[in-house]
Structure 1
Amino acid sequence: MSAIRVRIASALLCGAAAIVLSAHPAQAQGKGQGITKTEIVIGTHTDLSGVAAAFGVHSSNAARMRFDEVNAAGGIHGRKIRYVIEDSQYQVPRAVQAANKLLNRDKAMLLLLGAGTPMNNAVIPDAIKLGVPNMFPLSWARQLYEPFHPLKWASGASYYAQMRGAVKYFVEQKGKKNVCALYQDTDYGREIFEGARDQAAAMNIKIVETATHKPTDTDFTAQLTRLRAANCDLIVLGAIIRDSIGAPSTAKKMGWEVDMVGSTATFDLNVSSAPGGATEGLYTMTQIEAPYRDSPNPAIRQWVERYHAKFNADPNPAAQFSYVAADLIVMGLDRAGKDLTTEGFLKAMESIQGYKDIFGGPVMTFGTNKRHGTDAVFMMQVKSGRWVRVTDSLS
């Protein structure tokens, strides 16, 4: 009997150890991969040549800009950041392939600014198995930080929360009665719809009609004809860039003036400046001001000039989000100290309280059980080809 008890106790101890290591896998790997005496490897899988390339190119440029600034100043506690970027073309199989290279060949310490909801959903399980944090993806999907996991980090309000705020605002402040949804038939698009649907239900109204499309679609005549027949007076858009231009452009060609509101994924300067005023009047939800050269915020003006000098192009909002994300990573690495480990880095990130970016965005706070920086969000609208803020925070 005593021998049996010993075996049972041993099994229980092993099980407990397995639970601890699965919760903090980096502990099982010493420092964690991607950390040497001279460098820290950070990897990004993003769209450099697909339908969301306008996001991916500027996003990775901005992160590189921040890391180059750090390296030029001597690095972090003697280590330089080696930043590796792989093109996913906004396709899940390519994202998995890109992440596999970053994780297993480049040995990235962390993944940063991975583009796309379905791409991150496909990549995160492999990262977690290796104890590699998935930091601040270029997606505001709630499933990228829910349920809680110590290796899943996000910054801004989720698409779901954004759309709940949008529907609430338009129904209460603008008197909208026939809310509809036009969204990509993807994980991203479905979250947009779910946010709108749940807020409508909370206000005892229904989404009167829906229509879906593929991310690559350019003709929205059939979908908008369907929504117009339902007498929609507000269309919630689960769109990114091309479809954020295509949908309102098609409505205007049909002679239909209807309010449309998109998520942060719609917030791009290519959208606001679409030829012929195609997107004039379009609304979007965001947490940061647009990066214009004549911004009233001097920090934004100066940053835009630095970005343009480095890349010979003006930045878009994705670049701003990403510069902030990279700055948060730098802060965490610095706070982790000279004896850097993945576990130490995570604890350092947890210590970031009341972070304020240079763009006037909302305050972000993290913690032991908090991997999501802020829920603050506000609304902007295209006026005369520019994004103009039209509300205070709707969170």
Structure 2
Amino acid sequence: MLIRLWKRLMTLSVMLGVFLGLTACGGDSSTVSESSSSSRGVSDKEVVLGVATDLSGPTAIWGVGATNAARMRFDEVNAKGGVHGRQIRYVVEDTSYQVPKAMSAANKLVNRDEVIANLMGVGTPLNNAIMPMLFESGVLNLFPISGGRQMVEPFHPLKFTQRGIYYDEVRAAVKYFVEEKGRSTPCVIYQDTDYGVEILEGAHDQAEAMGLSIAEVSAHKPTDSEFTAAILRLKNADCDFILMGTIHRDTILVLEAARKMGWEGVDWIGNNAVYAQVIADQESGEGFYSFVHMARLYADDEMTPEVRTWWDRYIELYGEEPGLAAMEGYRGADLAVLALQKAGPELTTESLVKAVESITDYTDIFGYRVSFGPEKHSGATESVLSQVQDGRWVTLEQAISY
């Protein structure tokens, strides 16, 4: 398949970039390079973190929410004196979800701001593009807002992620709907991008492992707006559950096309990338499933006092309710603070890496667990299954994996 060949070439390209970055640093993929032992971004008075993220493009809902919550957490810490006497400075650069802008932003963060880490940048292709540059300069890529496998594979000492991987989520989805829901005919509709192909590969691999085959596949460009022919093709294949490698706009258009066609009795299943209230707000979104790493909150949900204080403070600061992006951003910033504390007063890139790896039993304020280790840089290994019911996301199952 041409798409699968293209995906393999993309993976090789990323691996080559990482290799070249490691060569320039004089290290390998199992140890932090000599240049990474530097104290870049660190002075007696501050430590500089940065992010190249989407604040104005198609995934700005993620970039803005995560950045706002991260700033909120860092402001809390700075108000109490910082970490080991250092204030945390968080430099934010907008990419508009465009690779050229991401490269320019990363270049500024690395060479002018001299950040010690790129913290929570949005987007698989953007992270893929800038990681070689980061690693060549010994800069960590911490907790990207992306579920792409390249965020942790191939292993690199400067890569860490706090969220689930799309490939794992879709494999968990296939396994769950076959074993628990009795489904037997999977299909896939996906964007013809590295993200979408990862969804296709996860569905294919899990189906094959269970003795099934993908009955039908439909690929589209992110800019496509007409899906009637694609839905008809899937319907004629008698799909009874469909894995979706889509984001917000195309998810809504696909579900609306299926609704207008009157196609019922089929399960539509997404992942972290489509888990947003804008999907739940659509009439066609009713019944839609998503496998995610943490479930969003609503104002009338029962919350612990700590979470309620966080919720109210976020609204006070930003004038809107916090969504999943804000939850992820706050947790990522809190993990960064914990790592800075564990790294000690003599902060270097190497000590920061070891500090993140030492976080082995962390539970965030929302009740979700994350753990790392010297050979485990992917913090979340289980998924939460949610479904849209009456215009809101409802959690159905916790701790699902394949």
Deviation at 1:210, TM superposition (A): 0.9
Aligned twin of 1:364: 370
Match of 1:309 among 316, 322, 325: 316
Deviation at 1:183, TM superposition (A): 1.0
Larger radius of gyration: 1
- Residues 57-112 of structure 1: CA distance to partner in whole angstroms, max 9, x if unpaired? 11111111111111111111111111111111122222222211211122111001
Is the Cα contact below 8 Å between 2:37 and 2:351 reproduced in 1? no
Aligned twin of 1:243: 250
Determine the C-alpha separation between the residues in 2 that align with 1:21 and 1:263: 29
With the length of structure 1 as denominator, give the TM-score of the two structures: 0.91
Determine the C-alpha separation between the residues in 2 that align with 1:115 and 1:157: 14
Match of 2:382 among 369, 376, 384: 376
Amino acid at match of 1:174: K
Tell me, yes or no, if structure 1 residue 281 matches structure 2 residue 287: yes
Is the Cα contact below 8 Å between 1:269 and 1:317 reproduced in 2? no
Deviation at 1:301, TM superposition (A): 3.2
Aligned twin of 2:19: none
Amino acid at match of 2:87: K
Determine the C-alpha separation between the residues in 2 that align with 1:137 and 1:20: 22
Amino acid at match of 1:349: V
3-state DSSP of counterpart to 1:278: helix
Instruction: Tell me: CA distance 1:227–1:20, structure 2 relative to 1, closer, same or farther (3 Å).
Output: closer
Amino acid at match of 1:70: V
Is the Cα contact below 8 Å between 1:218 and 1:243 reproduced in 2? yes
Determine the C-alpha separation between the residues in 2 that align with 1:368 and 1:102: 26
Instruction: Tell me: CA distance 1:21–1:373, structure 2 relative to 1, closer, same or farther (3 Å).
Output: closer
3-state DSSP of counterpart to 2:90: strand
Amino acid at match of 1:65: M
Amino acid at match of 1:110: A
Aligned twin of 1:162: 169
Instruction: Tell me: CA distance 1:284–1:21, structure 2 relative to 1, closer, same or farther (3 Å).
Output: closer
Is the Cα contact below 8 Å between 2:293 and 2:380 reproduced in 1? no
Aligned twin of 1:95: 102
Instruction: Tell me: CA distance 1:169–1:53, structure 2 relative to 1, closer, same or farther (3 Å).
Output: same
Alignment of 1:175-190 (within 5 A): 175-190=182-197
Amino acid at match of 2:362: Y
Determine the C-alpha separation between the residues in 2 that align with 1:175 and 1:332: 44
Is the Cα contact below 8 Å between 1:48 and 1:88 reproduced in 2? yes
- Identify which range, 347-356 or 249-258, moves more after superposition: 249-258
Determine the C-alpha separation between the residues in 2 that align with 1:233 and 1:20: 46
Instruction: Tell me: CA distance 1:216–1:315, structure 2 relative to 1, closer, same or farther (3 Å).
Output: farther
Instruction: Tell me: CA distance 1:161–1:96, structure 2 relative to 1, closer, same or farther (3 Å).
Output: same
Determine the C-alpha separation between the residues in 2 that align with 1:117 and 1:29: 24
Amino acid at match of 2:107: N
Is the Cα contact below 8 Å between 2:191 and 2:220 reproduced in 1? yes
- Residues 213-257 of structure 1: CA distance to partner in whole angstroms, max 9, x if unpaired? 222333322322221222211110112222222221221122112
Tell me, yes or no, if structure 1 residue 116 matches structure 2 residue 123: yes
3-state DSSP of counterpart to 1:201: helix
Is the Cα contact below 8 Å between 1:45 and 1:114 reproduced in 2? yes
Percentage of pairs with the same residue = 48
Instruction: Tell me: CA distance 1:374–1:21, structure 2 relative to 1, closer, same or farther (3 Å).
Output: closer
Tell me, yes or no, if structure 1 residue 204 matches structure 2 residue 211: yes
Aligned twin of 2:277: 269
Tell me, yes or no, if structure 1 residue 75 matches structure 2 residue 82: yes
With the length of structure 2 as denominator, give the TM-score of the two structures: 0.89
Amino acid at match of 1:126: M
Is the Cα contact below 8 Å between 1:41 and 1:81 reproduced in 2? yes
- Residues 162-182 of structure 1: CA distance to partner in whole angstroms, max 9, x if unpaired? 001101111112222221111
Tell me, yes or no, if structure 1 residue 293 matches structure 2 residue 276: no
Deviation at 1:22, TM superposition (A): 9.1
Determine the C-alpha separation between the residues in 1 that align with 2:291 and 2:28: 39
Structure 2: gaps of 5 or more residues: 1-22
Match of 1:255 among 249, 253, 262: 262
Instruction: Tell me: CA distance 1:29–1:348, structure 2 relative to 1, closer, same or farther (3 Å).
Output: closer
Determine the C-alpha separation between the residues in 2 that align with 1:263 and 1:162: 7
Determine the C-alpha separation between the residues in 2 that align with 1:22 and 1:203: 34
Deviation at 1:338, TM superposition (A): 1.4
Determine the C-alpha separation between the residues in 1 that align with 2:30 and 2:43: 24
Determine the C-alpha separation between the residues in 1 that align with 2:106 and 2:332: 19
Deviation at 1:21, TM superposition (A): 10
RMSD over aligned CA atoms reads 1.8
Deviation at 1:19, TM superposition (A): 3.8
Deviation at 1:204, TM superposition (A): 0.7
Deviation at 1:29, TM superposition (A): 5.8
Determine the C-alpha separation between the residues in 2 that align with 1:227 and 1:130: 47
Tell me, yes or no, if structure 1 residue 38 matches structure 2 residue 80: no
Deviation at 1:145, TM superposition (A): 0.6
Corresponding pairs, count: 376
- Residues 172-212 of structure 1: CA distance to partner in whole angstroms, max 9, x if unpaired? 12222221111111111111111111110011111111112
Determine the C-alpha separation between the residues in 1 that align with 2:204 and 2:293: 22
